[in-house]
Amino acid sequence: MARFWVCVAGAGFFLAYLVLHSHICGSSLPLRLHFAFKFSWRAEEILYRLDVDWPTYSEYFTGATFCVAVDSLNELVYVAQRGDNIPKVLVFTEDGYFLRAWNYTVDTPHGIFAASTLHEQSVWITDVGSGSYGHTVKKYNSFGDLVQILGTPGKKGTGLNPLQFDNPAELFVEDTGDIYIVDGDGGLNNRLIKLSQDFMILWLRGENGTEPAKFNIPHSVTVDSVGRVWVADRGNRRIQVFDKDTGEWLGAWNDCFTEEGPSAVRFTPDGKRLIIAQLNLSRLLITAAPPVGNIGNCSVISTIQLADQVLPHLLDVSQKTGAIYVAEIGAKINLIFKKEDTSRID
Q: What is the pLDDT of residues 32-57, one digit of tens each?
A: 222 233 333 344 455 688 888 899 98
Mean pLDDT throughout 2-14?
Answer: 48
Find the farthest-apart pair of alpha carbons in the chain and give their distance in angstroms, rounded. Answer: 63
DSSP 8-19: HHHHHHHHHHHH
- Asked: is 48-339 a CATH 3.30.1370.160 domain? The reply is no
Contact residues for 162 (Cβ-Cβ < 8 A; gap 6+): 152
Cα 114 to Cα 27, 61, 68, 184, 318: the distances in Å are 27, 20, 9, 21, 11
Q: What is the value of pTM for the model shown? A: 0.86
Q: Is residue 332 very low, low, confident or very high in pLDDT (cuts 50, 70, 90)?
A: low
**Strand 273-278 and strand 264-267: pairing?**
antiparallel
Compute the 3-state secondary structure of the chain and give helix, strand, coil in percent, each to the nearest 5. Answer: 10, 45, 50
Residue-by-residue DSSP string for 170-207: EEEE-TTS-EEEEE-SSSS--EEEEE-TT--EEEEE--
Q: Which of 345 and 6 is assigned the larger pLDDT?
A: 6
Nearest to 20 by CA among 7, 10, 33, 9: 33
Confidence band of 15 (pLDDT split at 50, 70, 90): very low
At residue 1 the predicted structure's pLDDT band, cuts being 50, 70 and 90, is: low
pLDDT digits (tens, 9 = 90+) for 186-236: 888 999 999 999 999 999 999 999 999 999 999 999 999 999 999 999 999
Residue-wise pLDDT for 146-170, tens only, equals 999 999 999 999 999 889 999 999 9
Q: Which amino acid is at 125?
A: I
Of residues 23 and 337, the one with the higher pLDDT is 337
Higher pLDDT, 103 or 11: 103
Handedness of CA 245, 120, 171, 314 (dihedral sign): positive
Q: What is the pLDDT of residues 258-277, one digit of tens each?
A: 999 999 999 999 999 999 99
Q: Is there a contact between 110 and 66 (Cβ–Cβ < 8 Å)?
A: yes
Q: Are 289 and 281 in contact (CB under 8 A)?
A: no
Question: φ, ψ for residue 72 (rounded to 5)?
Answer: -65, -30
Q: How confident is the model at residue 337 (pLDDT cuts 50, 70, 90)?
A: confident
Yes or no: say if 94 and 114 are a contact pair by the CB < 8 Å rule: no
Beta-bridge mates of residue 277: 264, 284
pLDDT tens figures, 105-139 = 999 999 999 998 888 899 999 999 988 899 999 99
Q: Tell me if 278 sits within 8 A of 298, measured CB to CB.
A: no
Dihedral pair phi/psi, residue 198, rounded to 5°? -100, 20
Instruction: Find the DSSP H helices in the chain.
Output: 2-25
Domain parsing of the chain, residue ranges? 48-339
Q: Is the pLDDT of residue 256 over 80?
A: yes
The whole-number pLDDT of residue 29 equals 32
Q: What is the pLDDT of residue 58?
A: 84
- Estimate to the nearest angstrom the gap between the alpha carbon of 180 and the chain centroid: 14
**How much of the chain exceeds pLDDT 90, in percent?**
71
